[in-house]
Amino acid sequence: MITSRSRRWTAASVLALAVTTTVVSGPAAQAATGTDPVVQITLGKLVNDDKFPAALASVRGRDGRTSDYAAGVADVATKEKAPADGYVRIGSNTKSFTAVTVLQLVGEGKVKLDEPVETYLPGLLRGEGIDGRRITVRQLLQHTSGLPEYTDFLAKGILPFQHTYFQPRELLSMALAKKAAFAPGTKWQYTNTNYIVAGLLIEKVTGRPAIEEITRRTIDRIGLRHTSFPNVGDQDVPAPHAKGYHRDDPAKPMTDVTAFDPSQAWTAGQMISTPGDLNRFFTALLGGKLLKPEQLKQMRTTVDAPMLGAGAKYGLGLSSIKLTCGGTAWGHGGSIPGYYTTNAVTEDGRAAAIAVTHLPTSLPAHEHVEKALDTVLCTRL
């Protein structure tokens, strides 16, 4: 059974598990290039049974052949079919891009994983139980720093902040106003604040904007034509895309949040991609095309991550899960208002990425999306 990964980029109560939802009803509209009936049926269930407006998937077999699938609608008003391999916001998959950039700096001798954050960002991390002299770069990337979560301000609702711009230091200040969650290195707890600090570290070490460095070092390096890190003020999702929807109140209609200021996520979750490009990124990463062998080894060195489900482990911006058909798959996944993605790559070259256009609002719906990833990967043995 695929592991539950509900604490990626999201406010504390975005996945309000007691909430019910009503979305588009009726048969799933298939608009796909793929022909595998198992994948098509799996996506159709997410639309028909779990009421996601749309579900997209890109699937790569060991032979390298890729197929794209879609079910549901791109627009709940017009009922236009969802585009196969359309653009989506990828939320916390951004963390993997950020971690790769930091690890490239490690490989260049500009950063040391076990050096205190204080070395690179002197005086930045100070607060109740918080001291940058005691937190290492590795602990940031592995979520073992003890830094408190800054996203709690979204717990009462996302919609009031749909078009609000946040500066990275503003996000960090929200976190530092609280006490440390635990002493550095004593436990694992997924916290978006870690990757805001990682973004600031990239900027300090390189002297360039994190957006620019991540784009140059990851997106451009392996030729991802459908992946981007939106710049300041860019609230749009490129075409073609299925619209993303959100509701703060389950009793009210869905709101179209496709136009959204993602600065509240920054280097923890701001990026846009397609399911196909996500597969290309993680396949290239695991294939050694982005990191030197030693840094890739460090990225894949994991600790137990119980928040992500039974048997889940977390490395440096990379998580591992066990498949029901045997073997381990590596990826990350992410959520941000309007979109939820789950994705992974296996050791033998299979890859799958699934995206839905509304955050799961019940525990069963969340589990069904994660199980869909396992189902799709296990059909490509």
Question: Token digits for 125?
Answer: 């991390």
Distance CA 303, CA 44 (A): 35
> What are 256's strand-pairing partners?
245
Tokens 């397609």, residue? Answer: 274
Question: Token digits for 172?
Answer: 């960090």
Question: Token digits for 279?
Answer: 């597969």
Residue type (1 letter), 338? G
Distance CA 221, CA 261 (A): 26
User: Which residue is catalytic, options 4, 92, 273, 320?
Assistant: 92
Instruction: Catalogue the E-assigned strands of the chain.
Output: 54-60, 66-72, 88-89, 126-127, 130-131, 245-246, 255-256, 272-273, 303-304, 313-314, 319-322, 328-331, 334-336, 339-346, 351-356
Q: How far is CA 215 from CA 219, 225, 353, in A?
A: 5, 11, 21
Active site residue 13: no
The residues carrying an active-site annotation are: 92
